[in-house]
Structure 1
Amino acid sequence: MKIFTQFLTLLLGFSVFSTVQASPFSITEEKINQYLSEKATIQDKFSFPGLFSLDYQLKDLRTRIGRGAEKRVEISGIAEGLFKLGNKQFPAKLNLTFDTIPYYEPEKGAVYLRDLRILRWSGEPNEYMEQLQIAMPFLSESISALLSTLPIYTLDESNIRDVLIKKFAKGIKIEPGILELETNVL
């Protein structure tokens, strides 16, 4: 009976989805960017006593999925906050571009990131950018740790499409512009 119910649920889902979109088990770049603009302002701080400390907010995140040679997700955003280098303290703004690998957590119905690499960065005030170079590996580690615990997208359990995705999706395949959630149904 359970298999029959699952089959009917899947059949209903596919009939609903066939008119809406070609691939019911995918999340588009636009949908993730919208989710990030609504939900993602990430704050953190860290320090290396005597050398530097960073108290920052990561915001304005935008994704580009599967557009490069490697099947990774490129994310750009701004790290803004209070930076201390030695005895100097100043507000700074860093424009960051990094890439990462997404993974799907079926129990939570959420997409997380791992293996973050900072590709490019620039910022202001210019007079401190060379000195901030020493903090970049620590900033990269901090952002990587945060993004591995905070989802970049969570399925909406009030949406029938997302309920079906959560029920059947087991992993992710990266395609240009979309994250295709893989299932073991078909």
Structure 2
Amino acid sequence: MIRTKAKILTVAFAAAVLGGCASYSISEQDMTNYLQDSVSLEQSVGVENVMYAQVAVEDLEVKIGRADADRVSVFASTNAQVQMLSMQSMGLDLDVEFSAVPEYDKESGEVYLKSLRLERFDESSQQLPPEVKKLLKPAVSMIGYALSKQPVYKLDSSKVQEALIKSAEPNLVIRNNKLVIELFD
């Protein structure tokens, strides 16, 4: 009798808790903050003293479902140092935009960006010579590749709601410019 009541109470408690957390929303600001705090993006390409570029992301901003309903856009302000043959090294400020499809890893509780596309690549102060642009594109693409291999958000198992959502193997959808991890379709 006591076991039956304990089981009923446990089921009732679980239903009440899960009913209150059938979904978890990740805002653009949440994801931007997570990326700025957790992901360091710096890439280099080429051979030093011949043709060499080093690109570092200084500032990131995330937009969810705005350009395409099923994609996340990541805007990055980057700083690039470029060296070509005997020319003096030049510093460039680049604005880059990637878009990607968010994917939720149910085992780890992490969100990744897949099917990444380089949408925009601009130098803010001057026109880039074609040879410099050819050198920088692989470094920028490598930043995109690195961004697709690291989680852009992770549920925190130490928080009850996030742990319950994670353990239930939910689905990921984009709704109202938020990533929504939900238990039910």
Report the TM-score, using the length of structure 1 for normalisation. 0.78
User: What CA distance in whole angstroms lies between the structure 1 residues aligned with 2:142 and 2:101?
Assistant: 16
Query: 1:11 Cα deviation (Å)?
Result: 2.7
Contact 1:123–1:129 (Cα < 8 Å) also in 2: no
1:93 aligns with 2:93: yes
In the alignment, which residue of structure 2 is the partner of 1:20?
A: none
Could you list the runs of 5+ residues in structure 2 that have no partner in the other structure? none
Q: Name the Cα RMSD after superposition.
A: 3.0
1:33 aligns with 2:32: yes
The C-alpha deviation readout for 1:97-137, integer Å capped at 9, x for no partner, is: 12111111122211111222122222255254544321354
In the alignment, which residue of structure 1 is the partner of 2:19?
A: 14
In the alignment, which residue of structure 2 is the partner of 1:67?
A: 66
Q: Which amino acid aligns with 1:163?
A: A
Contact 2:100–2:115 (Cα < 8 Å) also in 1: yes
Structure with bigger gyration radius: 2
In the alignment, which residue of structure 2 is the partner of 1:103?
A: 103
User: What CA distance in whole angstroms lies between the structure 2 residues aligned with 1:8 and 1:25?
Assistant: 19
Query: 1:10 Cα deviation (Å)?
Result: 4.9
Query: 1:36 Cα deviation (Å)?
Result: 2.3
In the alignment, which residue of structure 1 is the partner of 2:82?
A: 83
Which secondary structure state, in structure 1, belongs to the residue aligned with residue 107 of structure 2?
coil
Report the TM-score, using the length of structure 2 for normalisation. 0.78
Contact 1:76–1:97 (Cα < 8 Å) also in 2: yes
User: What CA distance in whole angstroms lies between the structure 2 residues aligned with 1:129 and 1:7?
Assistant: 67
User: What CA distance in whole angstroms lies between the structure 2 residues aligned with 1:171 and 1:12?
Assistant: 18
In the alignment, which residue of structure 1 is the partner of 2:114?
A: 114
Contact 2:49–2:83 (Cα < 8 Å) also in 1: no
Return 81-90 or 64-73, whichever deviates more: 81-90
Contact 2:45–2:135 (Cα < 8 Å) also in 1: no
Alignment of 1:33-182 (within 5 A): 33-47=32-46, 52-88=51-87, 89-124=89-124, 126=126, 128=128, 130-182=130-182
User: What CA distance in whole angstroms lies between the structure 1 residues aligned with 2:86 and 2:171?
Assistant: 47
Contact 1:66–1:72 (Cα < 8 Å) also in 2: yes
Q: Which amino acid aligns with 1:97?
A: E
The C-alpha deviation readout for 1:10-34, integer Å capped at 9, x for no partner, is: 531433x4xxxxx633212221122
Could you list the runs of 5+ residues in structure 1 that have no partner in the other structure? 18-22
After superposition, the Cα gap between the structure-2 partners of 1:182 and 1:118, relative to the gap in structure 1 and judged at 3 Å, is same
After superposition, the Cα gap between the structure-2 partners of 1:59 and 1:155, relative to the gap in structure 1 and judged at 3 Å, is farther
User: What CA distance in whole angstroms lies between the structure 2 residues aligned with 1:60 and 1:7?
Assistant: 46
Contact 2:35–2:60 (Cα < 8 Å) also in 1: yes
